[in-house]
Amino acid sequence: MNATPASAILPSLSFRLGDVSIARIEDYQGPGLSSTGMFPACRPDMWLSHASWLVPHFYDPATDRLRTSIHSWLVTTPRHKILIDCCIGNGKHRPSDPRFHMRNEPWLERLAAAGAHPDEIDFVMCTHFHADHVGWHTRRVDGRWVPTFRNARYLFKRQEFDRWDERRADHVPRESQRFVFADSVLPVVEAGQAVLIDDGHVVDDRLTVEPAPGHTAGNAVIRLRAAGERALFSGDVIHHPVQLPYPELCSVFDDDPALALATRRRVLDAAAASGDLLLPTHFAAPFCCRIEGAGQGYRPRWRAA
């Protein structure tokens, strides 16, 4: 891990918004699933119609692979350091996805380069419990999974926690989620660092948890209000920029595609009306944008690097 070149460790995006600083902490950027592997209703003409801005930054026609990113957002306020969505993690047994399986990536070094030691993290928040959002919750020490951020409170939405709690009699398993609750959520509970919260929960007078159901039952977005500036950590409400002109494209990972689509339109309509900066989890560079348009189709206005 120490041989990783510095250029690979440095965070590729950080900026100030109001009285907070925001840094993107990368765990993966590169080829994702095929277009229809991710969005079954995706058609070749969708890429052709928007090739001027989607290709090659977000789609490789030669291989039919989406270009994707998996990153965390570090929010540093005058009082706290807060992590939003904790990516894939290292050493996790993920047999259903080779990209996620038994990784060894310098995510912690990137976090340090962005100015945060794990012990300095005050709050860990996640939009939902999928494997690519909770992985760094824990790391393996002496053969046991322990919380990566030993001084943090981990804020878990009660509804999402219940959805994935495999100890429940009514638990509905998903192959891509095998081992995730046991290695990335339960150890946090056992360490006494989990706090169950509901929609409307506010952190540091700046971050508010809001409902965004569909992708998962308890899926959330996290709204930032910072000294007059506003942004929205939108998680997987929208996975990929092709869903801006075609919001009707639903991913194979949506628990309830119809509800996910209604949520996506509601969130994008509101972002277009308000001018809020949208900070998704999986957009490749330049990672975040403001939204123009309404209803049936949207356009990004990328934030300058």
Pairing of strands 229-235, 277-280: parallel
Cis, peptide link before residue 286, omega less than 30° from 0: yes
| Residue 139, CB-side half-sphere exposure with 13 Å CA sphere | 14
Region 43-62 residues binding Zn ion, contact defined as CB under 5 A: none
Nearer to Zn ion, 132 or 183 (CB): 132
204-to-122, 123, 285 alpha-carbon distances in Å: 10, 10, 29
Closest contact distance (angstroms) between CB of 131 and Zn ion is 8
Nearer to Zn ion, 90 or 281 (CB): 281
Would the CA dihedral through 251, 256, 258, 263 be positive or negative?
A: negative
Tokens 């540093």 sit on residue? 76
Q: How far apart are CA 84 and CA 73, in angstroms?
A: 5
- CA 132 to each of CA 89, 167, 180: distance values in angstroms, whole numbers, following the listed order: 8, 21, 10
Residue 105 in the binding site for Zn ion (CB under 5 A): no
What is the enclosing helix (H) or strand (E) of 74?
Answer: strand 65-76
- From the CB of 27, what's the least distance to Zn ion, in Å? 11
Q: Supply the minimum distance, in Å, between the C-beta of residue 32 and Zn ion.
A: 10
Residues contacting Zn ion: total by CB under 5 A:
2
> Cβ of residue 31: shortest distance to Zn ion, in angstroms?
15
Write down how long the chain is. Answer: 305
Binder of Zn ion out of 105, 132, 183, 276 (CB under 5 A): 132
**Do the Cβ atoms of 291 and 271 come closer than 8 Å?**
yes
Which of the ranges 29-37, 101-109, 115-123, 126-134 carries the binding residues for Zn ion, by CB under 5 A? 126-134
Using CB under 5 A as the criterion, what x/- string covers residues 159-198 for binding Zn ion? ----------------------------------------
Residue closer to Zn ion by CB (options 283, 298) is 283
> Between 34 and 151, whose beta carbon lies closer to Zn ion?
34
Q: Phi first, then psi: what are they for 65, rounded to 5°? A: -110, 135
Give 27 or 132: the residue with its C-beta nearer to Zn ion. Answer: 132
Q: Is 85 in the site for Zn ion (CB under 5 A)?
A: no
- What minimum distance in Å lies between the beta carbon of 281 and Zn ion? 5
Paired tokens of 182: 């046991």
| Residue (221 or 226) nearer to Zn ion, CB | 221
CB of 253 to Zn ion, least distance (A): 7
Residue 195 DSSP one-character state: E
Shortest distance, position 206 Cβ to Zn ion, whole Å = 23
3-state secondary structure 136-156: HHEEEECCEEEECCCCCEEEE
Nearer to Zn ion, 159 or 219 (CB): 219
26 is an interface residue for Zn ion by CB under 5 A = no
Instruction: Tell the smallest beta-carbon distance from residue 234 to Zn ion (Å).
Output: 11
Question: Which range of residues in 18-26, 39-47, 130-138, 286-294 is near Zn ion by CB under 5 A?
Answer: 130-138
- Burial (CB count within 10 angstroms: exposed 0-12, middle 13-18, buried 19+), residue 275: exposed
Piece of the chain touching Zn ion by CB under 5 A; list 44-52, 104-112, 127-135, 257-265: 127-135
Taking CB under 5 A as the criterion, which residues in 227-246 touch Zn ion?
Answer: 236
Interacting residue ranges for Zn ion, rule: CB under 5 A: 132, 236
